[in-house]
Amino acid sequence: MKTRTSIVCAALSVFVIGLTTSAWAVDMDAMKKKAEAVKGQAENVKKEGGEVKQSAQDMKAQDAMKNTGEMKSEGMKLKDTVTGK
């Protein structure tokens, strides 16, 4: 009886260890996939941030050109006023 109990306990231990190991492997795989997803999201955010920065720079350049055009027009009006045209 004692030998049979020992064999059953050993078999049960091996079975439980096998289940635990496979569950751990599945959990590690899921964590690896989550890490890859987060890494992809970070790359997308970085890319979008660069696009936003470029867009802001383009808008600033357009505003500067518009302001320069307005100043030029104001300068021409002032010149015409001074010269009497």
Q: What does pTM read for this prediction?
A: 0.38
32-76 pLDDT tens trace: 888 888 888 878 777 777 777 777 777 777 777 777 777 777 777
The angle subtended at Cα 45 by Cα 57 and Cα 64, nearest 5°, is 5
Between CA 39 and CA 37 the distance in angstroms is 5
Q: What is the pLDDT of residue 13?
A: 84
Q: What is the pLDDT of residue 1?
A: 61
Q: What is the pLDDT of residue 77?
A: 75
